[in-house]
């Protein structure tokens, strides 16, 4: 590999000039929910840095993480001070889906999480961009990034599912393991005006299509109800999330206000 550009990329927030200037019209709880999804998944993907199976894939995952971080910055800024929200909230105050806080696991787990989430995020942002709500500006800009994330996840799902016996088994296992976190994505979020039921149908159709292309069966376990997960939007999180937060926040909490 010759001199690819792997220096730390810029993490400045994209210039969302189209976002509404009057932030009082933004439903803060919704901005928090969407912003936390992006922030937490960004951090999880960032954990692959230095550990990804190949350098090229490490850069790809880092790129996705940085796209999400840019979205998170815009969304959290709509809800308050982005740094305070990211670094000073306790676990119970986060409103992200439990899906995005799940540990990376093996590469197949990360890809399954990406497939489930980026399909959802693409469908959601596509609908938000078409509307005229407070998130239309952000969504119009981010939907192109998210379309790429979805493509990345689908391409890898197909290759792992259709690869070796080991990759196929790992992909199957990962899809099964994360399935119970997928029902939560379609709990309506206050202030996000979309057809949630229609979006869920589109999501099931799309994910099912990808899995069937490599003859992986769509998991059959519960997605909602007593035995499934899903109260992240209410502030209840799974055990690994606390450890992730500790790592994400410890620098800021040890050196408040530090900058470079």
Partner 1 sequence: MTTNDWPLWEVFVRSRRGLSHTHAGSLHAPDAELALRNARDLYTRRGEGVSIWVVPSAVITASSPDEKDPFFEPAADKPYRHPTFYEIPEGVQHL
Q: Which residues bind partner 1 (CB under 8 A)?
A: 1-6, 9, 53-57, 59-60, 63, 151-152, 155, 159
Residue with Cβ nearer partner 1 (152 or 237): 152
Residue with Cβ nearer partner 1 (64 or 124): 64
Sorted by sequence, the CB contacts under 8 Å of residue 100 that are 6+ apart come out as 37, 40, 41, 44, 113, 117
Structure tokens at 20: 């509404």
Q: Give the DSSP per-residue string, 37-94.
A: HHHHHHHHHHTTTTTSSSHHHHHHHHHHHHHHHHHHHHHHHHHS-HHHHHHS--GGG-
Residue with Cβ nearer partner 1 (105 or 191): 105
Q: In whole angstroms, how close is the CB of 59 to partner 1 at the nearest point? A: 5
d(CA 255, CA 173): 41
Structure tokens at 127: 């609908």
Q: In whole angstroms, how close is the CB of 244 to partner 1 at the nearest point? A: 24
Q: In whole angstroms, how close is the CB of 232 to partner 1 at the nearest point? A: 29
Residue with Cβ nearer partner 1 (2 or 24): 2
Q: In whole angstroms, how close is the CB of 13 to partner 1 at the nearest point? A: 16
């Amino acid at each position: 590999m010759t001199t690819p550009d792997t220096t730390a990329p810029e993490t400045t927030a994209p210039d969302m000039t189209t976002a509404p200037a009057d932030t009082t019209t933004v439903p803060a709880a919704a901005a928090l929910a969407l912003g936390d999804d992006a922030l937490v998944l960004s951090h999880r993907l960032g954990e692959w840095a230095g550990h990804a199976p190949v350098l090229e894939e490490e850069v790809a995952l880092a790129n996705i993480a940085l796209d999400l971080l840019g979205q998170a910055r815009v969304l959290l800024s709509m809800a308050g001070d982005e740094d305070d929200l990211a670094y000073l909230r306790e676990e119970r105050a986060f409103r992200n889906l439990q899906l995005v806080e799940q540990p990376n696991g093996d590469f197949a787990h990360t890809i399954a999480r990406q497939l489930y989430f980026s399909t959802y995020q693409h469908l959601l942002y596509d609908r938000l961009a078409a509307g005229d709500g407070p998130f239309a500006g952000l969504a119009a800009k981010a939907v192109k990034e998210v379309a790429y994330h979805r493509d990345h996840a689908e391409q890898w799902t197909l290759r792992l599912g259709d690869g070796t016996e080991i990759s196929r088994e790992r992909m199957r296992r990962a899809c099964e393991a994360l399935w119970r976190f997928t029902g939560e994505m379609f709990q309506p979020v206050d202030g996000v005006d979309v057809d949630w039921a229609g979006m869920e149908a589109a999501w099931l159709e799309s994910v099912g299509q990808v899995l069937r292309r490599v003859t992986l069966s769509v998991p059959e376990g519960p997605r909602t109800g007593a035995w499934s997960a899903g109260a992240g939007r209410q502030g209840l999180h799974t055990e690994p999330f606390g450890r992730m937060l500790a790592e994400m926040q410890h620098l800021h909490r040890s050196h408040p206000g530090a900058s470079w």
